[in-house]
Structure 1
Amino acid sequence: MLSVQRKEHLIGLLAREGRIVAKDAANELGVSEDSIRRDLRELAADGACIRVYGGAVPVAERPVRQRQDIATASKERVARAAVVRIRPASTIILDAGTTTLAMARMLPLESALTVITPSPAVALAVAEHSDARILLVGGELSRHSMVTGGALALEAIAHLGADAFFMGVSGIDPLHGLTTGSVDDAATKRALAARSAEVFVLASEEKIGAASRFPVLGFGEITGIIVDPEDRNPLVAQLIPA
């Protein structure tokens, strides 16, 4: 199979699956992993994908409705590990995303808890599953991510304060750092982090080793990364030293 044919196959695989695992693609096509890695490097150079540990992911993030079934079990485990960090009667920020949505469904039935969120879906889940006070950040609602942002959101965030921010990102990589696929989303996350005493990054298995276009925060600007306790990706040890 010619290189151009392999690349067409890889682009199609990326569109269908949302991720390429180099080893699996090599086995499927009957070529070496080195050949697949070379193809992925060239595709990434052309802007067709983003290389991550073991393969590649799309340049553009999937809409939230398409992300709900990705690494579901891992997100649940991360959500459980995050919820135990919530102190009684505290004010927390739950970012938009499927892991924070899982957290919202696990919150304690505590009326003294206050939850701030830029996500209508997370706000509704909090209302359904807990007695917490809810502050929904206003602003323009993105149809892609279903999260509020823009100038109105930044203005509202400037008047808020929280004990802890549970932040979602698109990628967590030792080299590329904490990244997301939207420049506006990155700005909103930074604004929320600036108003929080602690910042925890939620790291389900598909986020480790992935990278998107826009940086969010440096590792030195966060309190910690909450990983899936069952994730055996070797990059976890680099992100969270023993």
Structure 2
Amino acid sequence: MLASQRKQQILQILAEEKQVLSSELSQRFGLSEDSIRRDLRELAAEGLLQRVHGGALPVSAALAPFDIRKNVQIRSKQAIAQKAVSLIQPGQVVLMDGGTTTEEMITFLPPDLPITVVTHSPSIAVGLVAHPSVEVILIGGKLFKHSVVTMGASVIEAISRVNADLFFMGVTGVHKTAGFTTGNYEEAGIKRALSARAAETVVMASQEKINAASPFAIGDLSLAGTLIVDTDLAPEMVAALTRQQVAVIRA
């Protein structure tokens, strides 16, 4: 079998089983694990999978630049955003992550809903200008242009002074073993810090993020109290979420 044919089969197995192990692929193809690991390295270099210890996971499609991501799974994101807004109660302090799905939340947020929104996303803050009953606290720092959010020590310091009711967190991957992941190391740390300051973390995941992984771990599935999706989840994913006591809401 040619190497190119073997790689295509690896990708097919990955698409069907949502993860591959080097040891199992070695037995399946009758090759050394070194050869399999080389295949996985080359596929990862092409952006076709995400390598992890012992194997690989499907790569997240949500790592593209912000302007491109805004046009991916729009209807899915809108449905999830509308369901997320329904969880907010008057008088609550709400942490809102940056991202294309949280931006969609603004369009469904009633202008007269009296809440306080704390965010490190300038675009979220500006989008709430027309909501007279929403008090907006914008956390400043160095702008991370890929996600249009601020990051750095000043952001961590400001977050530590907030006690919020809800944190709506954006991710680029939700996987039964990799947990919640994103594409930037510092951004993952900011998301963990935000989650630690909220009574409940709500993760919003459109279809392209389910059963996918990115390079940097935010935390395991137990980090969230609620996961909002708009597609049916595989039994294995449902079982993993149930074990971690994560409530799943279908948009």
CA contact (8 A) 1:106 1:129 kept: no
CA contact (8 A) 2:179 2:220 kept: yes
Residue 27 of structure 1 corresponds to: none
Counterparts in 2 of 1:198 and 1:58: CA distance versus 1, 3 Å: closer
**Percent of counterpart pairs with the same letter?**
38
Unpaired segments ≥5 residues, structure 1 = 10-20, 24-33
Unpaired segments ≥5 residues, structure 2 = 9-13, 17-27, 30-35, 52-56, 243-247
Q: Once the two structures are superposed, what CA deviation does each residue of 1:62-101 show, in whole Å capped at 9, x if it has no partner?
A: 1111100111111111111111100111110110011100
Structure 1 residue 2, shift from structure 2 partner: 5.9
Residue 181 of structure 1 corresponds to: 183
Residue 205 of structure 2 corresponds to: 203
Counterparts in 2 of 1:222 and 1:83: CA distance versus 1, 3 Å: same
Counterparts in 2 of 1:175 and 1:41: CA distance versus 1, 3 Å: farther
Distance in 2 of aligned mates of 1:204 and 1:161: 27
Residue 19 of structure 2 corresponds to: none
Residue 218 of structure 1 corresponds to: 220
CA contact (8 A) 2:94 2:165 kept: yes
Residue 81 of structure 2 corresponds to: 79
Distance in 1 of aligned mates of 2:85 and 2:100: 14
- TM superposition outliers: structure 1 runs of 4+ over 6 Å: none
RMSD: 3.1
Distance in 2 of aligned mates of 1:123 and 1:113: 13
The count of corresponding residues between Structure 1 and Structure 2 is 214
Please report the TM-score for the alignment, with normalisation by the length of structure 2: 0.74
- Code of the residue aligned with 2:232 in structure 1: it is R
Structure 1 residue 57, shift from structure 2 partner: 3.2
1:45 pairs with 2:46: no
Residue 143 of structure 1 corresponds to: 145
Distance in 2 of aligned mates of 1:76 and 1:58: 19
1:68 pairs with 2:64: no
- Code of the residue aligned with 1:160 in structure 2: it is V
Residue 168 of structure 2 corresponds to: 166
CA contact (8 A) 2:60 2:208 kept: no
Distance in 2 of aligned mates of 1:51 and 1:122: 30
Structure 1 residue 233, shift from structure 2 partner: 4.2
CA contact (8 A) 1:111 1:133 kept: no
- Code of the residue aligned with 1:163 in structure 2: it is D
Distance in 2 of aligned mates of 1:56 and 1:43: 15
Please report the TM-score for the alignment, with normalisation by the length of structure 1: 0.77
